[in-house]
Amino acid sequence: MAQIVIAEEAGACYGVERALELVLTASESVEGPLHTLGPLIHNPLVVRELEERGVTVVEDAREVEPGSTLVLRTHGVTPEVKRVALAAGAKVIDATCPFVMRAHRAAERLERDGYQVLIVGEAGHPEVEGTLGHAPSAVVVGSPEEAASTELSKKVGIVVQTTQSKENLLNVIEALVGRTEELRLIDTICEATSGHQGACERLSKRADVMIVIGGRNSANTTHLAEIAQKNCGRTHHIERDDELDPSWFTGAELIGITAGASTPAAQIESVRERIQTIVG
Ligand code: SF4
């Protein structure tokens, strides 16, 4: 009989669990409309469940009406976005992950202390945009090549998008060493991401089939799927358990499951149960 193994570290991280709890509590207690700024997490199922509880998504803080409540998601926002919502007469519940806030504070501090701030991360990603809002003169570098072509000051301070890989960070640092007088790193990579990736790497090396659960628009889930695919050719990225195709499991002895940081435990369990029903 096939064995089904869930990666040691998989699914919703501390920041996502905390944000979900804040919104669920708010949906039972606040008066007036309740919105999230953008989808709370990159998980269509969860977003739909929240909609059923009356939580709607607005794409811009300027859309909120007086008397409403706006929840800021784990990725964080610029100080300006918060100001706009408050000025519109809305209440704000800040669900920014504390680890992202740490990156905001680090960037602010470095800029105040006269460092040229480099944010190692993906330009345009909401988390990076939020961090930029806290250190407006910062420069975003996504790769060692970009770091190599960036003109440097005498004092350079680095903060990192929480979901970056250590490998990319080390390569960027290598491209900077020797080109400035002082290079300071505040390592703001979140351990949840590297823990998920490490567990996925180990499991996918043993598995005959890997199932990766999470939104297709979720960067960290897509990255898990890439890691799994590298080690296990029979990798499938799904959002819902009804996407599982019984033919995927033919002849498989070990079926591995992992899930992105925005996948609640209940979704992982329902996928596990469905696979169990398929393989018997
Ligand atoms: S992955 Fe880390 S930084 Fe991002 S929300 Fe989860 S705990 Fe916070």
For 88-97, write each residue's pLDDT tens digit.
Answer: 999 999 999 9
Continuous segment of H or E residues that includes residue 258: strand 254-259
For 14-63, write each residue's pLDDT tens digit.
Answer: 999 999 999 999 999 999 999 999 998 888 888 899 999 999 999 999 99
The lowest-confidence range among 77-86, 89-98, 159-168 is 159-168
Continuous segment of H or E residues that includes residue 120: strand 116-120
For 98-140, write each residue's pLDDT tens digit.
Answer: 999 999 999 999 999 999 999 999 999 999 999 999 999 999 9
For 234-275, write each residue's pLDDT tens digit.
Answer: 999 999 999 999 999 999 999 999 999 989 899 999 999 999
Task: Name the residue of 13, 41, 77, 101 whose CB sits within 8 Å of the most ligand 1 atoms, as the mutation to test its pocket.
Answer: 13
In the chain, domain spans = 3-11+193-279, 14-98, 99-189
* DSSP, residue by residue, 22-89: HHHHHHHH--S-EEEES-SSS-HHHHHHHHHTTEEEESSGGGPPTT-EEEE-TT---HHHHHHHHHTT
Give the distance (Å) from ligand 1 centre to CA of residue 126.
Answer: 13
Assess whether the C-beta atom of 164 lies below 6 angstroms from ligand 1: no
Four-way CATH pick for 3-11+193-279: 3.40.50.300, 3.40.190.10, 3.30.365.10, 3.40.1010.20: 3.40.1010.20
CATH 3.40.50.150 at 14-98, yes or no: no
Region 133-154 average pLDDT = 97
Give the distance (Å) from ligand 1 centre to CA of residue 111.
Answer: 24
Distance CA 106, CA 185 (A): 10
Our separate counts of H helices and E strands in the chain read 10, 12
Assess whether the C-beta atom of 168 lies below 6 angstroms from ligand 1: no
- Nearest residue (by CA) to ligand 1, atom 5, is 15
Give the distance (Å) from ligand 1 centre to CA of residue 19.
Answer: 10
Same topology between domain 3-11+193-279 and domain 14-98:
no
Fold of 99-189: Cobalt-precorrin-4 Transmethylase; domain 1 (3.40.1010)
Cα separations in angstroms, 154 against 43, 178, 238: 43, 11, 47
183 pairs with which residues across the strands?
Answer: 156
User: pTM to 2 decimals?
Assistant: 0.85
Assess whether the C-beta atom of 248 lies below 6 angstroms from ligand 1: no
Residue-level length of the chain? 280
Give the distance (Å) from ligand 1 centre to CA of residue 16.
Answer: 7
Task: Name the residue of 73, 75, 97, 222 whose CB sits within 8 Å of the most ligand 1 atoms, as the mutation to test its pocket.
Answer: 97
pLDDT of res. 163? 85
Assess whether the C-beta atom of 194 lies below 6 angstroms from ligand 1: no
Ligand 1 nearest atom to the CA of residue 190, by list position? 2
